[in-house]
Structure 1
Amino acid sequence: MSLETFQKSDALSLGVELELQLVNTHDYDLAPYAEDMLRLMTKTPLPGAVVPEMTSSMIEVSTGVCRSSSEVLGQLSQIRDALVKCADKLNIAVVGGGTHPFQQWHERRIYDKPRFRELSELYGYLSKQFTIFGQHVHVGCPDADTALLTLHRMSRYIPHFIAMSASSPYVQGQDTAFDSARLNSVFAFPLSGRAPFALTWDDFTTYYDKMTRTGVVKSMKDFYWDIRPKPEFGTIEIRVFDTPLTVERAAALAGFVQALAAWFMEDQPFMPTEDDYLVYTYNRFQACRFGLDAAYVDPGTGQHMPLREHIQLTLHQVQRHAARLGASSFIHMLQSSVERAENDARWLRERQGEEELLAEVIRQAAQRFRGGMAHAQQG
């Protein structure tokens, strides 16, 4: 299949997808209720979409095209409130987080959809192990070449995205010692990792044509890259975020992406090179393993520094763009949490330290996801 034409989109427009956990309210294990949730959700008119994911205890929600991170929050809040109401009717709960802390992968069921069945046949047990939960952020690009340039500039900030969104410290009941263990499951797939270094759409098309000729790739969906172009939307899609525990943090991360993209497109702060990728895998591992306590090697200067320092520097660099885009409050929220070395992985570990029961941690995470809905119910 030939590569799709890169569609026109508004520069810096946003779209956000969240993969969410469905858990029962008995022992807070995953519950195969995706079909029931989808049936109930169709009765409520909402922005964006609600669709199934690989296994039947997952659901994916997405916004429509948004102009600002505040609009992202508005749409996600509306979808979240509808999800919570539907879940209450089914006596289940909806939870954020990049992994379910104690689910057993072999108990999962593949959702009955042709693409998921096909992937299950190809990838075997990896398909059920793909019961992991991420946030994807799309940012609009004015043309295809700008999209590729922005993609490769953005790659320097993959560790920042991982550390700030990390919410998957537990797998199969064990503390993995990673802040983001979710990405270890993604890396098992043969077409994961980084995009090829192509700065023009012509060069990228040549690469894509070579890959399709091998028969390994049939469409862009077959690439599980950390960032990939989405020509049908006119965007690039950043895929390394764990799903946060709240929609507010999801919107804040989208605001950070938008402000970064504005900085890249308007100020052209640096030119990406293939050498940027010499330290890419090292930086990504550090962020997955240590979160905000990771070490970071600046690909441009080779300087070693704490990742937290580089995140704070970056948040300061994009402040002017964030202000113009109406994202200042979100950038401030992220700055405050980085200064306190707080991310969702730390919150989950602190709750487990207090409760010593992962089911109770999930119950509290479900309350956290409800946000204002929890207060409304109590009132």
Structure 2
Amino acid sequence: MSSIPAAGPMSALPKLPQDRTVQLEPFNRSEALSLGVELELQLVNTHDYDLAPYAEDMLRLMAQTPLPGSVVPEMTSSMIEISTDICHSAQDVIDQLSPIREALIRNADKLNIAVVGGGTHAFQQWHERRIYDKPRFRELSELYGYLSKQFTIFGQHVHIGCPDADAALLMLHRMSRYIPHFIALSASSPFVQGQDTQFDSARLNSVFAFPLSGRAPFTLSWKEFEAYFAKMTRTGVVRSMKDFYWDIRPKPEFGTIEIRVFDTPLTVERAAALAGYVQSLGAWFLQEQPFMPTEDDYLVYTYNRFQACRFGLDAAYVDPATGEHMPLREHILMTMTRIELQSEAMNASTAIAQLRTDVEASQNDARWLRERQGKERMLAEVVRQAALRFRGAA
């Protein structure tokens, strides 16, 4: 499988019909607070633990085993994405992810490779990556050039069901206040190309480079959002919701919002716990209506987001409503206490208790990776131990 050649500026332009307006599909009905989880995972060889271009082989083997959800290719050939079917609790998530993990491990052993979590590979070189041979990936490579190979980063996406389109936008903007929580709790990308970046989540710096990244426009009306989408498609820049790399975006075909800032955790258990935290927050929003989001929420959004990426659980958090500064760790613990009733009702108490224990100990996956490197002084050994951790063997 060869890399995609560079393209000239005209070939990189989207090929659109004369009338560029694309209709935004209707927002489908879904069960409120239902869950779906996607995980992008690393494929590494087992002699030096660098990334290995085995996605096609892994997909072929995985297709032979009936499993929940799906396993699909991602941008480059050393990564795959697994996803669940519709879930109703964090326990449902782990019940679906566990057999997928076991099949991944079994098939990786056949190929003499390993599967690893984490938001970045610790020492891979982006120029060595191969674009997976799929039309959309080829098109993105033509448009974005080297950024496509640098997008060999690994995230967790959490979908949460919303009762209707307007409720989805309200949920989206309420969740935006908690983006720093999600970043700090999932952070697992301290190393890039062999260097400690001093960020807990360096992965999100790669997302910033894309022109349609960042935050969704502020509107609480689906009709207004449809008008925004129509304007964007008329510019020729956007053809579908997939073209937006926002931190949270609506997914009308699923009837959900999709939160996209999580690094892929090192274990599927932590991925399920994070989904339980999102679901409990969503239940709190629906039941208590704790605040009404406004455009002013975004005055400190980028600052809070940077703090969480850079410092993880040691970050500062600015409350957008009051301007109060506090340690992010304290804001997370305060929020976990506020949503205890909802987490119990959602069967997420155990999951959130695990997260709370880590927050109180200032522990996340980024710290675990740094501690391993501090002891081993060899990033290949850190990746090997992370592969064992994904297996549940470390």
TM-score by length of 2: 0.94
Task: Quote the residue 1:323 is aligned against.
Answer: 344
The answer to whether the aligner puts 1:173 opposite 2:161 as a matched pair is: no
Equivalent-residue separation in structure 1 for 2:164 and 2:339 (angstroms): 22
**What secondary structure does 1:99 align onto?**
coil
**What secondary structure does 2:152 align onto?**
coil
**CA-to-aligned-CA distance 1:159-190 (integer Å, 9 cap, x gap):** 00000000000000000000000000001000
Identity of aligned residues (%): 79
Task: Quote the residue 2:212 is aligned against.
Answer: 191
Equivalent-residue separation in structure 1 for 2:248 and 2:339 (angstroms): 20
Task: Quote the residue 2:57 is aligned against.
Answer: 36
Task: Quote the residue 1:162 is aligned against.
Answer: 183
Equivalent-residue separation in structure 1 for 2:221 and 2:88 (angstroms): 26
Equivalent-residue separation in structure 1 for 2:62 and 2:25 (angstroms): 31
Counterpart of 2:327 (choices 306, 311, 329) is 306
One-letter amino acid matched to 2:156 = Q
**What secondary structure does 1:19 align onto?**
strand
Tell me the CA shift for residue 240 of structure 1: 0.0
More helix by share: 1
Counterpart of 1:69 (choices 85, 90, 93) is 90
Equivalent-residue separation in structure 2 for 1:25 and 1:41 (angstroms): 19
Write the mapping of 1:156-305 to structure 2, written as runs, cut at 5 A.
156-305=177-326
**What secondary structure does 1:228 align onto?**
strand
The answer to whether the aligner puts 1:94 opposite 2:115 as a matched pair is: yes
Equivalent-residue separation in structure 1 for 2:303 and 2:332 (angstroms): 17
One-letter amino acid matched to 1:320 = L
The answer to whether the aligner puts 1:360 opposite 2:381 as a matched pair is: yes
One-letter amino acid matched to 1:211 = M
Tell me the CA shift for residue 346 of structure 1: 0.1
**What secondary structure does 2:80 align onto?**
strand
One-letter amino acid matched to 1:351 = R
The answer to whether the aligner puts 1:139 opposite 2:129 as a matched pair is: no
Task: Quote the residue 1:121 is aligned against.
Answer: 142
Equivalent-residue separation in structure 2 for 1:20 and 1:123 (angstroms): 22
Equivalent-residue separation in structure 2 for 1:204 and 1:298 (angstroms): 26
One-letter amino acid matched to 1:95 = V
CA RMSD of aligned residues (A): 0.6
Equivalent-residue separation in structure 2 for 1:131 and 1:211 (angstroms): 27
**What secondary structure does 1:50 align onto?**
strand
Task: Quote the residue 1:340 is aligned against.
Answer: 361
**What secondary structure does 1:51 align onto?**
strand
**CA-to-aligned-CA distance 1:76-97 (integer Å, 9 cap, x gap):** 1110000000000000000000
**What secondary structure does 1:87 align onto?**
helix
Equivalent-residue separation in structure 2 for 1:84 and 1:42 (angstroms): 14
Tell me the CA shift for residue 205 of structure 1: 0.5
Equivalent-residue separation in structure 2 for 1:161 and 1:298 (angstroms): 16
Tell me the CA shift for residue 255 of structure 1: 0.1
Instruction: After the TM superposition, list the runs of 4 or more consecutive aligned residues in structure 1 that deviate by more than 2 angstroms.
Output: none
Tell me the CA shift for residue 223 of structure 1: 0.1
Between the two proteins, the alignment pairs up a number of residues equal to 373
Equivalent-residue separation in structure 2 for 1:316 and 1:249 (angstroms): 19
**What secondary structure does 1:332 align onto?**
helix
Task: Quote the residue 2:131 is aligned against.
Answer: 110
**What secondary structure does 1:100 align onto?**
coil
The answer to whether the aligner puts 1:4 opposite 2:25 as a matched pair is: yes
Equivalent-residue separation in structure 2 for 1:370 and 1:300 (angstroms): 43
Tell me the CA shift for residue 316 of structure 1: 0.7
Tell me the CA shift for residue 265 of structure 1: 1.1
**CA-to-aligned-CA distance 1:108-137 (integer Å, 9 cap, x gap):** 000000000000000000000000000000
One-letter amino acid matched to 2:267 = T
Tell me the CA shift for residue 300 of structure 1: 1.3
Tell me the CA shift for residue 8 of structure 1: 0.3
Tell me the CA shift for residue 301 of structure 1: 1.1
Task: Quote the residue 2:41 is aligned against.
Answer: 20
**What secondary structure does 1:39 align onto?**
helix
Equivalent-residue separation in structure 2 for 1:186 and 1:220 (angstroms): 16
**What secondary structure does 1:206 align onto?**
helix
TM-score by length of 1: 0.98
Tell me the CA shift for residue 266 of structure 1: 1.2
